[in-house]
Amino acid sequence: MKKWGFCLTFCLLLCATAGEVPTLGVETTVTATMKATTAYVAFLVRGQGLLISDAQKACDAKITAVSEEIKKRFKDARIDTTTVNTGTKDFQGWRAPGPQIEPDVTQLVTVTLPPDETLAAEILDIAIRKGAIPFCSDRTELRGAVYYGVDNTEAAEEQLYQEAAAKLRKKAELLANSMERKVVLLRDVRSSTDRSSCNTAKFQGIQCILPAPVCSSDPNKVRISMDFAAIFEISE
């Protein structure tokens, strides 16, 4: 069941210049909480060796091994990899006088699953047993190495538009009445949302951009929030 929460603010934009139609501006932030439709398990796989090519082979072998085990547990798992480091294990230390390069290749692995907490935990256990490092994000909305997302937010966004429209007009009418005026018509309405904080996990300076537009650490509380601003014409 969806739960709706609202945070309402407003501003007054009254044109006093002669000849101009007076306008009134209002703003609102509307939020919806949904259940997840998909889950993501993220972890890092590292390979080392005498040469960079050796590290690459070691990393590839580890990814093959962990992928095979994951497929045994859940054959429909989607496994995506992204190379996040090809070079030395400790770049900052290597730059200092003395230390030698330590060949390292690190890949970020993201496993897409149904939104099943037990299954996600089992997949992460498999990765850890194979030597992977959990991609433990510490962002407010995305903590840990298991994330839950909503693939399609169109229905929720449409509901947010409807809720926002009603809230904006009600607030505009209250403000207009306080000035002994009436709302004539809606001149303009705009919406915005910051999705970067909703689907981007971070760990050790590495970003993991998740496929779903909005994600959470809780499968039952995936939050989508939109800001709206409207300008109404009011009677003189």
Among 23, 27, 31, smallest CA distance to 6 is for 31
Angle at 88 between CA 84 and CA 92, to 5 degrees: 95
Could you tell me the CA-to-CA distances from 202 to 24, 124, 127, 152 in Å, in that order? 41, 17, 19, 23
User: What would the pLDDT profile of 118-135 be if each residue is shown by its tens digit?
Assistant: 999 999 999 999 999 999
Q: Which pLDDT value is given to residue 59?
A: 97
Q: How many angstroms separate the CA atoms of 39 and 170, rounded?
A: 38
Positions in the chain short of pLDDT 70 = 1-19, 91-99, 194-197
- Residue type at 92? Q
Q: Which pLDDT value is given to residue 7?
A: 38
Q: What is the per-residue DSSP string for the chain?
A: --EEEEEEEE------STTSPPEEEEEEEEEEEE--SEEEEEEEEEEE-SSHHHHHHHHHHHHHHHHHHHHHH-TT-EEEEEEEEEEES-HHHHHSSSPPP-EEEEEEEEEEE-S-HHHHHHHHHHHHHTT-EE--EE-SS-EESEEEEES--HHHHHHHHHHHHHHHHHHHHHHHHHTT--EEEEEEEEEE---HHHHEEEETTEEEE-SSSEEESSTT-EEEEEEEEEEEEE--
What domains does the chain contain, in order, with CATH numbers? Answer: 3-35+151-234 (3.30.110), 38-135 (3.30.70.2970)
- Which burial class, exposed, middle or buried, applies to 188 when counting CB atoms under 10 A from its CB (0-12, 13-18, 19+)? exposed
Distance of CA 84 to the CA centre of its chain: 20
Q: Which pLDDT value is given to residue 193?
A: 75
Sort residue 177 into left (φ over 0), alpha (ψ -120 to 50) or beta. Answer: alpha
- Cβ atoms of 200 and 214 closer than 8 Å: no
